[in-house]
Structure 1
Amino acid sequence: MKHLVIGCLMLGLVAAGCQKAEQQPPSTAAFPPLSSYDEQARALLEQMTLEEKIGQMIQAEQAFLQDPYDIQTYHLGSILSGGNSDPADGNSLEAWTEVYDSLQAIALRTRLGIPLLYGIDAVHGHSNVEGAVVFPHHIGLGATRDPDLVERVYRITAIEMRATGIHWNFAPCIAVARDERWGRTYESFSEDPELVATLGAAAVRGLQNGGLNNPLAVLATAKHFAGDGGTAFGTGGPQGALLDQGDVRLDEATFRRIHVRPYIDAIQAGVGSIMVSYSSWNGVKMTGHKYMLTDVLKGELGFEGIVISDYNAIDQVHPDYKTAIEIAINAGIDMAMVPTRYREFFQLLKELVEEGRVPMERIDDAVLRILRVKFAMGLMDGPEHVFADRSLWAKFGSAEHRAVAREAVRKSLVLLKNENQTLPLAKDLGRIHVAGLHADNLGYQAGGWTIDWQGGSGDITEGTTILEAIRKAVAPGTEVTYSEDGSGAAGADVAIAVIGERPYAEFLGDRSDLSLDPDDVAVVRRLKEAGVPVVVILISGRPMIINDVLEMADAFIAAWLPGSEGDGVADVLFGDYAPTGKLPFSWPRSMDQIPINVGDEDYDPLFPFGYGLTY
């Protein structure tokens, strides 16, 4: 997309760098309701043709734009970058910023000059971009039980997003995961809806940072409305998943108590957009569920922002695409995430309006909601409020931001076992032997949604592995040795095994068996046979079946998916921070117990919800 790089000054516009966002403190005023922008939004709406209105309802994928100037031809209201949608010129901070500014420049040259909303999944930091700070995934943040920390994590995420110009985050996920076999469990703060509600609202506050018009704020998205964490095993979607995109089979009272509950707090926190789940409720796809989207979400709960569909989700509503669009838009979808079929969607929705199958009132309501948000964000206040503020590049991936991520890591660790006061370790031991594939692999440590959708292996971005952190933490005279397979531990003062899951995201992350990899068990066994104390650190996106390894371990830490700052793990290992993490999920004894959740009849987990030792 190099040919699209159009400097702001070339267009006679105010350069992005002229707006010194970091010098403007966040507002302490309460969020004005989005409907307070209706006068301005309606005035613009009255000037729009049907084609311009439909275009505002479309979100296309930047990597799949058939022509960048389709933004003008189809009056597109939004662009997204999906999990694998990097700029053609590379995955750098500069490349992302240039793509954003270039596409906005095209949008501003349309008849009405309405800027784009640009969205991305920055679910644990701005983690699609190399060099961004990568925070622990939600399951780790859930273990902290610290809403102030979660708010700070998401405030930093917003700043790093704004450094690239991107201002719409498809986060926080406020799913209440009720079955650990689901591949998105790590995107959930907890099995407990109250904890999810508390931390989800904190995330919204962090992203929207006192008000959407704050140049350091981004638009938050509570997702996925509703029930994505409660699908029945074996009902998964078209990719053959076991739980993902499946069917939630609950009565309405239970469905509301568990899965709708967190949205109440998110709306009260002022969330500006809500993404609808792929999943169904008692056989009806949420993307086409008018009762839930219009009657409950917009009516009963009073949500005034944008209701957006998930990636290609409209395709699943009905086999006939035109009928699927009709059902979804009439159900209450305001913006359609149609990554590749945006031209077809444009034509078919126009036909549906002209045929009277989608009322003009529904179109106007959808566009009004989109324009409300654009006015609330200050995007309509002039080009200087649209383009990236490149002065924020200095903050991107900064030591200051990494310090908060390190704090989040150490507060997220849950100590499950500590016999004979094995932990904390002295920093001046003679030799520490570290083992396991996960000890020196930043990609494994960060998990899915890191640089690529499904994550990756090795030095995929900037950060500190757990092995590197241990070597930094020990005294100068302490030797730290390492083997992947656990060999070479004999004679060491202590051995540390870092084991766990390989990275994954939705679809590919669904599993019917959560047993540890046999190679990981073998690593711990070799360490145990060496006759030294053994500390096990588990890197995982969910509780696993750990009985054999737990028995061999003298100390055991659930570290979840800590992200880029392995120093936070070393802080706990060596006693610079006494562990405070508490289990956000019940820990099963065996697969026979799954799903297991606090409050179940005959509740007898290996470790109960809220468990966690300290020194």
Structure 2
Amino acid sequence: MPKVMRSGLLAIGVLAALVGAAQGVPVQAEPGPAGHLDPRLPVAERVEDLLGRMSLDDKLGQMTQPERRYITPEEVTRYRIGSVLSGGGSAPTPNTPERWADMYDTFQRAALAGPLRVPLLYGVDAVHGHNTVVGATIFPHNIGLGATRSPALVREIGAATAREMAGTGMDWNFAPCVCVARDDRWGRTYESFGEVPELPAKMTTIIDGLQGDDLGGATSVLATAKHFVGDGGTADGDDRGDAKISEAELREVHLPPFRAAVERGVGSVMVSYSSWNGLKMHQNRYLITDVLKGELGFTGFVVSDYNGIDEIDGRPGFTRDEVAAAVNAGIDMVMVPIEWRRFIDYLREAVRDGDVPMSRIDDANRRILAKKVELGLFERPMADRAYLETVGGAEHRELARRAVARSQVLLKNDGVLPLDAEDKIFVAGGAAHDIGVQSGGWTITWQGEPGPITPGTTILEGIRGAAAAVDYDADGGGVDDSYDAAIAVVGEKPYAEHHGDLTGDMGLDAGDLKTIERLREAGVPVVVVLVSGRPLDIADELPGWDALLAAWLPGTEGAGVADVLFGEAEPTGRLPVTWMRDSAQQPINRGDGKTPLFPFGYGLTYG
């Protein structure tokens, strides 16, 4: 760093210190030579230099992550905040890539105005592309990517997501979810790559794509393996429930993907809301500190889930005891979106009373600060707007279309597929012409919603681009025997965690079934394209369908579905989960002795 620039940084630091003192915030009287700002020094040396300059309040701020709507830039400076996040659907107005970059830079300038010039990390749930940004490329959800069986493709998707994030300044992704989904009633099933540990473990290549070969690369973003551990194994698929399983099963089924993520150098790990045999993960020192950090050798930092510490004692809100329990368990950064000031006060009291040792605070800060140094945030803290043009760009959308095609799983085909481009096609179903439905949850908003919520190509538009003659009616009105085939695009409405849990029926809704029946009554071959985040109960209806294609939640590039329907791409997807014969079989998984409708790994081809 040039001498003049470093002198300027010190001057800014002294000015900020004076401002902080006037506001009654404890600061260092004289920071001295800023060794932590020297990129020539080793990471560990820079971190130790910085730790030696930090007050307790500096350190507590680094461990605190508020939500953007509940903190101002001035408060970021005053409280030395280490990270800010956008919760699901939390976006600037207007929701454009440029406005995201402006917002990021505003918060980052506030962090750099502190006396020690420590940059912040900005975290987002970019779980299938940069999915909260209108206009970004939305890739298939993980269940579809698991069906591709392609770690190389998933790595490409991680790199593309990182480029789009870099343009908007976002430097921390709360992804990938490496859970092993063992019960399809779980509302996060689609966030899993599959039901057996080796499949999510293989797909940790997305971490390589996100972080890059060098964590300090121009488009590197910090990846997060979540949710540690056992969230996919809770009883009855309860999203925040209890995994009532032995340690042997926990280690055999749920731990391997985290081991793979750690081996790939994942920068952070997020703790699960769920419990293991009655003990909330947010206070499980054995699993977080002894197993993750000790046994697996994880050197990054551990972050809580959104308000995750609130649930330790089973009552609303968090207490001082819960704060101490979470930090002592090994959580380094705490996601406290609203009550972040109270968190800081409680943690300060716990340290001063000896309930949380200073060594634990220093360990957390070392881990957080090391990743900031490795990411190059001290040297390149602002959004790199050169990458704004990649957001929703043609190259990324073509990659997404290719991923969609490879994720399709052909489950039944009585000779009707592939369709011919010269065929006269009728299309029906509420999911046929709806970007929001085909993208699912975690798209623009937290739970997702139907409608034209972001630019893209619907499945109907993809079919129209592939065939010469296509008619459409959502309910199937107007179909007759003059058509060569009818395509019903049906399935689930958007949902995300917690709200997506199912406790009863797992079948298609009455409207979808009526639409399909109307097509059947016309006497033409019926192809059902199922848009869903998990297997649905369709065994009773399946004999009346000529073909069934599991499209999962493909995202914005619906033309990839049409590519398979019309033979431009071979159906090569394989089931990443076992397809139940009926919902009463749940949970059902490979090797459990139950007879499924379609086994794990099943998938037809045209060959």
TM-score (normalised: structure 2): 0.92
Give the C-alpha shift of residue 195 in structure 1: 0.7
- Contact (CA 8 Å) 2:429, 2:489: kept in 1 or not? yes
Give the C-alpha shift of residue 292 in structure 1: 0.5
Q: Does 1:52 align with 2:58?
A: yes
CA deviations 1:84-105 (Å, max 9, x no partner) are 2111x21111111110001101
Q: Does 1:364 align with 2:357?
A: no
CA deviations 1:135-159 (Å, max 9, x no partner) are 0000000000000000001110000
Q: Does 1:537 align with 2:529?
A: yes
1:79 alignment counterpart: 84
Identify which of 460, 474, 488 aligns with 1:484. 474
Distance 1:585 1:141 in 2: 12
Identify which of 486, 492, 501 aligns with 2:492. 501
CA deviations 1:48-79 (Å, max 9, x no partner) are 000000000001100121x3311012110000
Distance 2:162 2:410 in 1: 31
CA deviations 1:454-489 (Å, max 9, x no partner) are 001111001000111111112xxx321111112221
Gaps of 5+ in 2: 1-10, 13-40
- Contact (CA 8 Å) 1:52, 1:74: kept in 2 or not? yes
Q: Does 1:284 align with 2:310?
A: no
From the superposition, tell whether residues 292 and 440 of structure 1 become closer, same or farther in structure 2 (CA, over 3 Å). Answer: same
1:171-320 → structure 2 map (5 Å cutoff) = 171-199=175-203, 201-233=204-236, 243-318=238-313, 319=315
SS in 2 for 1:556: strand
1:426 alignment counterpart: 420
Partner amino acid, structure 1, of 2:537: I
Give the C-alpha shift of residue 260 in structure 1: 0.9
Partner amino acid, structure 2, of 1:278: Y
Identify which of 606, 611, 615 aligns with 2:597. 606
From the superposition, tell whether residues 332 and 423 of structure 1 become closer, same or farther in structure 2 (CA, over 3 Å). Answer: same
1:517 alignment counterpart: 509
- Contact (CA 8 Å) 1:411, 1:579: kept in 2 or not? yes
Distance 1:546 1:291 in 2: 42
SS in 2 for 1:222: strand
Give the C-alpha shift of residue 82 in structure 1: 0.6
Moved over 6 A (4+): none
2:582 alignment counterpart: 590
Gaps of 5+ in 1: 1-10, 13-34, 234-241
Distance 1:554 1:442 in 2: 26
- Contact (CA 8 Å) 2:422, 2:469: kept in 1 or not? no
CA deviations 1:393-426 (Å, max 9, x no partner) are 121111111010000000000000000x200000
RMSD between aligned residues: 1.3
Partner amino acid, structure 2, of 1:270: G
- Contact (CA 8 Å) 2:190, 2:534: kept in 1 or not? yes
CA deviations 1:281-331 (Å, max 9, x no partner) are 000000100000111111111000010000000111135610000100000
- Contact (CA 8 Å) 2:73, 2:106: kept in 1 or not? no
CA deviations 1:24-66 (Å, max 9, x no partner) are xxxxxxxxxxx9722211111011000000000001100121x
Distance 2:158 2:291 in 1: 28
- Contact (CA 8 Å) 1:524, 1:549: kept in 2 or not? no
Q: Does 1:470 align with 2:500?
A: no
Partner amino acid, structure 2, of 1:502: K
SS in 1 for 2:66: strand
Distance 2:573 2:466 in 1: 21
Distance 1:415 1:488 in 2: 27
Give the C-alpha shift of residue 436 in structure 1: 0.3
- Contact (CA 8 Å) 1:545, 1:591: kept in 2 or not? yes
Distance 2:428 2:110 in 1: 52
CA deviations 1:248-273 (Å, max 9, x no partner) are 01110111111111011100111000
Distance 1:566 1:317 in 2: 42
Distance 1:36 1:518 in 2: 63
2:434 alignment counterpart: 441
Distance 1:591 1:336 in 2: 38
Partner amino acid, structure 2, of 1:583: L
Distance 1:72 1:36 in 2: 27
Partner amino acid, structure 2, of 1:63: R
SS in 2 for 1:347: helix
Give the C-alpha shift of residue 339 in structure 1: 0.3
Give the C-alpha shift of residue 167 in structure 1: 0.7
Partner amino acid, structure 1, of 2:293: K
- Contact (CA 8 Å) 2:230, 2:254: kept in 1 or not? yes
2:45 alignment counterpart: 39
Q: Does 1:549 align with 2:553?
A: no
Distance 1:499 1:535 in 2: 11
Deviates more, 1:546-555 or 1:222-231: 546-555
- Contact (CA 8 Å) 2:67, 2:336: kept in 1 or not? yes
1:164 alignment counterpart: 168
Identify which of 390, 394, 400 aligns with 2:395. 400
SS in 2 for 1:548: coil
Identify which of 343, 346, 349 aligns with 1:348. 346
SS in 2 for 1:607: coil
Distance 1:554 1:36 in 2: 63
- Contact (CA 8 Å) 1:489, 1:532: kept in 2 or not? no
- Contact (CA 8 Å) 1:413, 1:581: kept in 2 or not? yes
Distance 2:52 2:286 in 1: 29
Give the C-alpha shift of residue 515 in structure 1: 1.2
SS in 2 for 1:69: helix
- Contact (CA 8 Å) 1:74, 1:346: kept in 2 or not? no
Partner amino acid, structure 1, of 2:395: E
Partner amino acid, structure 2, of 1:450: T
Distance 1:547 1:284 in 2: 38
Identify which of 555, 558, 566 aligns with 2:558. 566
SS in 1 for 2:540: helix
SS in 1 for 2:214: coil
Identify which of 327, 341, 344 aligns with 1:329. 327
Distance 2:508 2:208 in 1: 37
Distance 1:185 1:511 in 2: 11
2:27 alignment counterpart: none
SS in 2 for 1:428: coil
SS in 1 for 2:541: helix
SS in 2 for 1:608: coil
Partner amino acid, structure 1, of 2:528: V
Partner amino acid, structure 2, of 1:423: L
Identify which of 127, 130, 134 aligns with 2:134. 130
